[in-house]
Structure 1
Amino acid sequence: MQPDATGPATMTAPAPASDRRVERGLPVNWSLAASTAARLMPAGPRTTPAAARELVERLRVDSARAEGHVREVTGLGAGLPLLPADVLDRPSWARAATEGMDALTSGAQLPASPWPLRNVTAAGSGVQLGALLAYLGARVLGQYDPFGGPGGAGRLIVVAPNVHAATETLGVDGEQFGLWVCLHEATHRLQFTAVPWLRDHFAGLVTELLSLQEPDTAKLTRLPDAIRSLRGEDGAKGDVLALVELLQGPEQRAVLDRLLALSTLLEGHADHVMDAVGPDVVPDVAVIRRRFTERRRGGGIVDRLLRTLLGVEAKMRQYAVGAAFCREIEAAVGMDGLNRVWESPRTLPTRAELTEPQAWLRRVG
């Protein structure tokens, strides 16, 4: 209903989609999310100030050193500066994570809503996101945020208390483990800095996915199938990823497929490279990999449930699928052949090709 110029309210036809007001960015109070995470996440492990300073400095040095090793293995990034990571505590990681997510999603175009409703929605979303970050903030070892840092130029982060805690839990050499973690994150940084089109391509997929809107009624018609998938019925995956996919419309699912394929490649490539650097750099790499993989799969019932609900289990499968793809391609055509995935968006593997590497080889020649 809309007031008529003469006074009484009259029915008006919906405005064409191109004329409807839109707002950019997600309705999330990012500052509230960061502060909520800081309040809820547990304190880091106890250590002496001297040991903490030593760890921070070592991780800063190792992050730049690790990228040098990654460049030698991959042949990517010649001439780029070797920069140290930002070594942070848990609350600082949460603030950095919200800043990066805000920048990544700022291009999304969503239907405009009245400001009181948007503010309430943003506050609720901020609290919920903060709770999720509090859970993840005690576990994440590091990340490369292509959209964080000064001017949104990118930021490599290592979370020192979590590296320390994981070292103690796994019972591995601290210096080797810290370098091993840095190898994974430095590979991500190199992916985005050595491949000039990748950052904008990734952001474009996220923006496109978030901006595609469907009526709630359309989602409701797919809800029964989605619930059966979450339960694992009919041979479905039985995880949150399956639920998300089934709730998407055809256009959304097509974009989500491309985004999942890219993220699977990025994670798997980083895992493959960090192990390909080999025992010359990390002598205990086999032991670290085995124990770390067991840690990924472990945890109590509540922890495993939370990991499933947050999509962490799906992410773990991404590591395995993406790494297996990279191993097979490199075995067949060498690292130069594998690097063809970075030539353009057209040479990126599809989700189907990630599980059938030979199909990708046939397509790209």
Structure 2
Amino acid sequence: MSDFPFGFGLPQEPEDGESGKNKGAGGQGPADNPLSALFGAGGMNPQDLGAAFQQLGQLLSNDSGPVNWELAQNVARQTVAQGTPDGSKDRSVSAQETERVREAVRLADLWLDGVTSLPSGATATVAWSRAEWVEATLPVWRELVDPVAERVGAAMSQVLPEEMRAMAGPLLGVMRSMGGAMFGTQIGQAVGVLAGEVVGSTDIGLPLGPAGKAALLPQNVAALGQGLGVPEDEVRLYLALREAAHQRLFTHVPWLRSHLFGAVDGYARGIQVDTAKLEGLVGQLDPSRPEELQEKLQQGLFEPEDTPEQKAALARLETALALVEGWVDAVVHAAAEPHLPAASALRETLRRRRASGGPAEQTFATLIGLELRPRRLRDAARLWASLTDARGSQGRDALWTHPDMLPTARDLDDPDGFVHREQLDFSELDQLLGEAADGGRPSLEKDTPGDSRPADDEDGPGDEDGPAGEGKGGRPE
């Protein structure tokens, strides 16, 4: 993938030596990618050129929004069909592989029951091929990318003076369509490459698949386990633990998804493009050298400037993702260590995979310029483990009740200070909310007509466990 933020560079031609032989059978050659055909792809014949212009006409007439998602889907599937750099091609999932995934997730949920108070969040378990992963996750990619692409497109349109914008209405429509095609090609290739690396639906710390559906990619699970010296069943089970833990969190913390996606949207709202710099650079382009545009794009010609709003949104997103991944890391290790001999080795493998630029880091760096810092993930995992020791799993998991209860970036710097900080008692707030729901009637007034016992007298028969929110069935303090 590119090292510059998503949407600001043209796609690169595949380096696979075999791809040139198969472009007519699903490879992404000039006929499949008119953008690459128009920007310097060599060796075209007249038929390729004609097909490229025909597809370009279709692209320019497609006004589906800031990203051409039909093109993104096609490019992603073509990228998957080309295979990974090691020569691995996508294939269908067998019935035996599907059953193994189901058994792994079922056992993972059983082990997780003993280390977290959050119940199972998976209502279904599936085994996906790489192409199926692309199809299942594209709706969420659309939700993530559209705000960023729309804001960049709006900023780019400001390059033209006001009077020229009024005169160039049709041209602006063509520019929007071309921008949507460029975005679609870029995100399509990014998702297609990612499909060859991911092992489930939550690898990047976000719920990319349908709600409640735990998913693993057997082909990628097997590839990850190669060379580790660990039985494939053990690798599959450890990854199933991670997938099932993510599902519990996103299912039973209803505000978490919107919190994470809202941070991305907050970043998009803060995007600004230096139009003066852009006008000057565009004016320097040589029309006789179309490849110069590609060079400028790769040098960050359209890269937006960081604003205080963007930095704040990225900081929120980075901290929230670190807390999600840290919680999963701590919970999965607690569940796996008593049962899997290679639990610690697998844990470190996945941590190093993230640190060396795994799918999460690459995707976010391409998407919005965010790089997840492994140091933050380790800090978050240590904090959650310390909370477990100090408050138990129920007290630890209760922090997910509201975003304001979660540790902050400063708390990750001082986990002991957060762990031993005096805990807030929300039992009175729960009681007031209950009264409001009952129309103002105190929730503890259960006395029958003629009963003169005060409503707050908890010493009567049947009150051994105390009022709601306390005792055996209430919220942990």
When the two structures are superposed, what TM-score results if normalisation uses the length of structure 2?
0.56
**Cross-structure match for 2:470:** none
From 19, 40, 60, the equivalent of 2:102 is: 60
Q: 3-state DSSP class of the match of 1:86?
A: strand
Name 1:34's counterpart in structure 2: 73
The alpha-carbon deviation at position 340 of structure 1 amounts to: 3.3
Match for residue 72 of structure 1 among 69, 94, 114:
114
1:128 alignment counterpart: 186
Give me the whole-angstrom Cα distance separating, in 2, the residues matched to 1:316 and 1:30. Answer: 32
CA distance in 1, matches of 2:179, 2:422: 45
1:292 to 1:252, Cα distance in 2 relative to 1, 3 A: closer
1:258 maps to which residue? Answer: 316
Of residues 113, 116, 124, the one that matches 1:84 is 124
Letter in 1 for 2:97: L
| Contact map agreement 2:129 2:219 (CA 8 A) in 1 | yes
In the alignment, residue 58 of structure 1 is paired with which amino acid? Answer: R
1:335 is displaced (CA, Å) by 2.0
Q: Are 1:334 and 2:374 an aligned pair?
A: no
- Listed as ranges, the matches of 1:35-50 within 5 Å are 35-41=74-80, 42=83, 45=88
Which blocks of at least 5 consecutive residues in structure 2 are unaligned? 1-63, 158-171, 279-303, 425-477
Equivalent position of 2:196 in the other structure: 138
The alpha carbon displacement at 1:45 in A equals: 4.6
RMSD between superposed Cα atoms in Å: 3.6
Residue 70 to residue 46, structure 1, CA distance change in 2 (3 Å): same
Task: Work out the percentage of aligned pairs sharing the same amino acid.
Answer: 30
Could you tell me how far apart the structure 1 residues matched to 2:269 and 2:214 are? 28
Q: Distance in 2 between matches of 1:54 and 1:90?
A: 17
Secondary structure at the aligned position of 2:337 is classed as coil
Alignment of 1:6-25 (within 5 A): none
Q: Partner residue of 2:344?
A: 286
Summarize deviations over 1:36-87 as a string: whole Å, max 9, x none.
23322416858998x943222211232243233223311112xx66433321
Q: 1:272 aligns with which of 311, 330, 339?
A: 330
User: Whose strand proportion is higher, 1 or 2?
Assistant: 1
**Structure 1 residue 277: Cα displacement:** 0.2
- Whole-angstrom distance in 2 between the partners of 1:46 and 1:122: 29
Post-superposition Cα deviations, 1:120-144, rounded to whole Å, max 9, x if no partner, equal 1111112112222233222211123
Q: Distance in 1 between matches of 2:354 and 2:269?
A: 33
- 1:32·1:127 contact (CA, 8 Å) conserved in 2? yes
**Is 2:202 the counterpart of 1:157?**
no
Cα deviation for residue 295 of structure 1 reads 5.3
Residues 46, 127 of structure 1: alpha-carbon distance in 2 compared, 3 angstrom cutoff? closer
- Could you give the per-residue CA deviations for residues 338-358 of structure 1, whole angstroms, max 9, x where no partner exists? 223202011122222122213
Contact 1:37 1:130 in 2 (8 A): yes
Counterparts of 1:295 and 1:213, CA distance in 2:
30
Q: 2:411, 2:417 within 8 Å by CA — same for their partners in 1?
A: yes
Contact 2:201 2:216 in 1 (8 A): yes
Structure 2 counterparts to residues 239-258 of structure 1, below 5 A? 247-258=305-316
Aligned to 1:97: 137
**Equivalence for 1:233:** none
- The structure-2 alpha-carbon separation of the partners of 1:208 and 1:294, relative to structure 1 and needing over 3 Å to count, comes to closer
CA separation of 1:195 and 1:71: change in aligned 2, threshold 3 A: farther
**Alignment map for 1:335-354 (pairs within 5 Å):** 335-354=393-412
Check the 8 A contact 1:94/1:137 in 2, yes or no: yes
Which residue does the alignment assign to 1:207? 265
**How far has the Cα of 1:315 moved from its partner?**
5.3
**Equivalent AA in structure 1 for residue 392 of structure 2:** G
Residue 448 (structure 2) aligns with: none
Q: Deviations over 1:195-246 (max 9, x none)?
A: 12222323333323223343536999xxxxxxxxxxxxxxxxxxxxxxxxx9
Unaligned ranges ≥5, structure 1: 1-24, 221-245
The residue type equivalent to 1:160 in the other structure is P
How many angstroms apart in 1 are the aligned matches of 2:238 and 2:308? Answer: 40
Q: For 2:124, what is the secondary structure of its paired residue?
A: coil
Find the aligned partners of 1:212 and 1:89 in 2 and give their Cα distance.
37
Looking at structure 1, the residues matched to 271 and 107 of structure 2 have their Cα atoms a distance apart, in angstroms, of: 44
Q: CA 1:31–1:72 in structure 2 vs 1: closer, same or farther (change >3 Å)? A: farther
Q: Which residue identity is paired with 1:72?
A: G
* Distance verdict in 2 for CA 1:184–1:204, change over 3 Å: same
User: Residues 115 and 318 (structure 1 numbering): CA distance in 2 closer, same or farther, change over 3 Å?
Assistant: farther
From 271, 274, 283, the equivalent of 1:216 is: 274
State the AA in 2 paired with 1:31.
E
